[in-house]
Structure 1
Amino acid sequence: MRLTWAQPEDLLAHELVQSAAEGKETADVRERWTAAGGDPVPAVSGAGPVPATPELRALARELLDELDARPAAAAPQEPDGWDAIVALLPPAPRLPRPGADLDARVLGAWTGRAAGCLLGKPVEKIPREGIEEILRATDRWPLDRWFTAVGLPDDVAARWPWNRRSAPTSLEENIDGMPEDDDLNYPILALELLEARGRGFTTDDVAQLWLDLMPAGRSFTAERAAYRNILDARPVPETATHHNPFREWIGALIRTDLLGWVSPGDVRGAARLAWTDARLSHTRNGVYGAMWAAALAAAAVVVDDVEEVLDAADGVVPPGSRLAAAVRLGRELGVASDGSEPAVRADLDRLHTAYGDLHWVHVLHNAAVIAYALAAGRGEFGASVSIAVTAGWDTDSAAATVGGVAGALRGADGIGERWAAPLDGRIATSLPGGERSIADLAARTTALARRAPAPQAGDMTDEGGRA
């Protein structure tokens, strides 16, 4: 059996990359692995083509343990603890309290997140050049509507196969509501968590929620590793580090929009909730990505300009971190862009030059794309999500975050029928209870948001994970 994101021989190849990024010594481990016949090149799709022999798999486990035990280099600008993170941050911005349009904004956020995710689903895992070739072959370049297989030449389809799980339900000719996706499962889970536990939830509460409601097979990368560690009774934060080379990937970022929507105007409070959630499965920049996404969402439901949203979210990211640098690059390029196809192409070339060595699910380049798409798209829904998708990398996740922000800024009516109508107000899910109504999810979210406390200066959570 080939298990994606779980086979020790695949984890080791990714861990060599992650450990090196953390300043650990890896040369001796790589030499032992390759001498035994192991492949040090990480699998792109989550599992190598052939499972390892029992002997090689046992060696992979041994080497993973060795790398786990080695100390990372000191990183004072990238701490993991909340108090240490807060010590690096500027004062929290003062944003407006939610207005009478909060209901419309939250409905827009849920709708926009779903539509952005749906746009990127069929081309997830397809590189940027393949996305462009598909769009040109179907007369849809530059992207401004759903993908279609109608008229797609056989040779192009063979060269760039659709995401097989997603394409049957996410191409224009097949869309009938929002199909199931982890990018929507997680906000629904977060809503269930807050309704059950309130804003005082702990990281252990998140772990229990996963066990109660989330099918293990619908977790990926860092979440799948953390799920395994939870079942192995490993404590937080070891759940995020043991045999988990994906700890600075995008997984935690996609989980936290809801935590911002229920914290309108309170970016620090939203980031605090996101930290509590993210530390179950991620470290350093993986956690900061979650905090940043929650802050984007918290700001987007109360301000009117995308630059204000980006300004506010900057205030929850350690300024000397690699995530801050990635967001800064994406945003600077986006602000300078005129939004034309040649300008966007040149800017995406810059981002791919800067981060093209990373796996397509890493948090750094995807955060840079999110910042770029929002800034270059000026917060307009269609332009922003289209840029996020044509950038490549994690197309559905990046466009979901961008869509949530743009949808909150414009409200449900500002998204446009082209993007909203095919959703039919419905989201499928693999969580218990099945399909959800977007309007009902939004109403439940708004109810929590209206009960949220006003932002408090110096508000913190302790290291044990209680917010």
Structure 2
Amino acid sequence: MRLTWIHPEDLIGHELRQARQDGRAVEAIARRWHDAGGHDAPPMAGASPEPAPERLRRLAEDLLDELATIPSPLADREPTGLDAVISACPDWPGAPLAAPGPDLAGRLRGAWAGRAAGCVLGKPVEKIPREGIRAIAEATGNWPIRGWFTARGLPDDVAERWPWNRRSAPTSLAENIDGTPEDDDLNFPMLALALLERYGTGFGTDDVAQMWLDELPAGRIFTAERVALRNLLVGLASPETAVYRNPFREWIGALIRADVYGWVNPGDPARAAVLAHRDAALSHTANGVYGAMFAAALAAMSLTANGPEEVLAGALRVVPPESRLAVAVREAADLARAEGDFERVLDALHARHADLHWVHSVNNAAAVAAALVHGAGDFSASVTSVVSAGWDTDSDGATVGSVAGGLLGADGIPDQWTAPLHNRVASTLTGFNGATFDTLAARTHALVQETSG
């Protein structure tokens, strides 16, 4: 067995790509690595099939440490520290933008159920590119996507060319769904709920670290989270956990952890973003942190806003406007407003972000924004649009489902998306296996009342 996401010889390719995106001059280091026989980053998995020779492993370690000393020219406009982030946001809200109404309980149930439904929709096609998702959907009479994916009627040649996510398909195809299967996109929000119940809203990043050590199975976390957990286990503390040999620090991991921080602060994107920052700082920097702040603010706004445009406008106020993530989100939203054919929107987004990994925060935040605008508050249109985008389909489906569900409330989500989930979720987290959306929403609501009382 070869573990993923931790070997220096596999990390170096990802770090070189991240460095180029940061505008750092690293071609001399890249030549040294390739001239020594080093490989590029594995395109999909987190590890190459065979371990590298010891000389390459040591070289990779040295080069990772050398790369860490090269400053990014983008650092001034993409800070990580909270005070600097707030200073970089000229529109940072000084007070809540709205107060929750009497429908808050129903909207919280909708947010939890919507997150689960969007996640399950995207699970079987995670890691499959756009063209594969379309081929599968067309071959089974589900294009444009309007329902769960299915293997029924799928021709063998299509199935062979575009294989399902093997871990997810047994529990997330139309013919297999029986409750909500376990997923990190649901485990992390539940962990955040437990964190707030244990420590309150005054929690710190060290408390997040303790929750991870207490509760997270290492085999069920990936990329930046796995690196940060490794860093904790070798004795590092935040903020070093986020940066030490962690080329995934601007990927999507922190974004998927943030919804609950918004749900406990309805109508208050700034407070939601502050809580999300404390969580994200354990494993991410810059755009990786902004992804979490953006998602938390989306969740906060979804419980009080009248539509996705109002949600997006509030969420963008907590992201530095010159950052790559904010620019990408604005561009994506503008594209979706101007172009009625969502496939053309996706063509432009994929061309614009072709250099990013499929689980980077920037391109996925752009897909979320475009789908929310295109969906215009319709749950089905929103989640199916974002899953058709490819990239991180289950995570993006979860985020868009959360926002759309929060806007509509539980009763506004079509039964086709909620009935097969049977109001329950599977989890290996202590105390959460079999939890119902009703119970999760009630616990979240109790935290809202506690912090506002």
In structure 1, what is the equivalent of residue 73 of structure 2? Answer: 73
Distance 1:9 1:114, change over 3 A: same
Number of equivalent positions: 450
Look up the SS of the partner of 2:180 in the other structure: coil
Counterpart contact for 1:286–1:363, Cα < 8 Å? yes
Q: Which amino acid aligns with 2:429?
A: L
Contact 1:97 1:302 in 2 (8 A): yes
Displacement of 1:94 after TM fit?
A: 4.6
3-state SS, counterpart of residue 397 of structure 1: helix
In the superposition, the TM-score normalised over structure 2's length comes to 0.97
Tell whether the 8 Å contact from 1:126 to 1:392 is kept in structure 2 after alignment.
yes
* Alpha carbons 2:424, 2:434 under 8 Å: kept: yes
Moved over 6 A (4+): none
Give the distance between the partners of 1:228 and 1:123, measured in 2 at CA: 29
* One-letter amino acid of the structure 2 residue matched with residue 388 of structure 1: V
The root-mean-square deviation of aligned C-alpha atoms, in Å, is 1.2
Once structures 1 and 2 are overlaid, which stretch shifts more, 78-87 or 281-290? 78-87
Letter in 2 for 1:236: S
Q: Distance in 1 between matches of 2:386 and 2:405?
A: 14
Q: Distance in 1 between matches of 2:81 and 2:383?
A: 33
Equivalent of 1:406 in 398, 404, 407: 404
Contact 1:177 1:428 in 2 (8 A): yes
CA deviations 1:250-276 (Å, max 9, x no partner) are: 000000001000001111000000001
Structure 2 letter corresponding to 1:211: L
Q: Which residue of 2 aligns with 1:124?
A: 126
Contact 1:254–1:401 (CA under 8 A) maintained in structure 2: yes
Residue of structure 1 equivalent to 2:413:
415
Deviations 1:247-303 (A, max 9, x none): 110000000001000001111000000001001100000000100000000010112
Deviates more, 1:443-452 or 1:113-122: 443-452
Distance 2:399 2:355 in 1: 23
Shift in Å at residue 41 of structure 1? 4.2
Would the aligned equivalents of 2:11 and 2:41 in 1 still touch at CA under 8 Å? no
Q: Aligned partner of 1:4: which letter?
A: T
Which amino acid in structure 2 is aligned with residue 186 of structure 1?
Answer: F
Q: 1-side partners of 2:19 and 2:151: how far apart?
A: 41
For residues 144 and 74 of structure 2, what CA distance do their matches in structure 1 show? 45
Residue 288 of structure 2 is aligned to residue 286 of structure 1: yes
Segments of 5+ residues of structure 2 without an aligned counterpart are none
* CA positional deviation for 1:43: 3.2
Post-superposition CA distance 1:215-272 (Å, at most 9, x none): 1111101101101111111121110000100011000000000100000111100000
Q: Deviations over 1:4-61 (max 9, x none)?
A: 1112111011011112222333122212211211113443221113221222212211
**What is the deviation of 1:74?**
5.1
The equivalent of 2:83 in structure 1 is: 83
2-structure distance, mates of 1:189, 1:442: 14
**Residues 315-464 of structure 1 aligned to structure 2 (within 5 Å):** 315-338=317-340, 343-433=341-431, 434-453=433-452
The offset of 1:96, in angstroms, is 2.2
- Map 1:147-158 → 2, pairs under 5 A: 147-158=149-160
Segment drifting more, 82-91 vs 361-370 = 82-91
Residue equivalent to 2:53: 53
Instruction: Give, in whole Å, the separation in 2 of the partners of 1:91 and 1:41.
Output: 37
Q: Distance in 1 between matches of 2:345 and 2:71?
A: 37
CA distance in structure 2 between the aligned counterparts of 1:54 and 1:354, rounded to whole angstroms: 38
**Aligned-partner Cα distance in 2 for 1:246–1:30:** 18
Alignment of 1:97-246 (within 5 A): 97-246=99-248
* Contact 2:248 2:284 (8 Å CA) reproduced: yes
- Is residue 30–residue 40 contact of structure 1 (8 Å, CA) maintained in 2? no
1: CA distance, partners of 2:306 / 2:163: 39
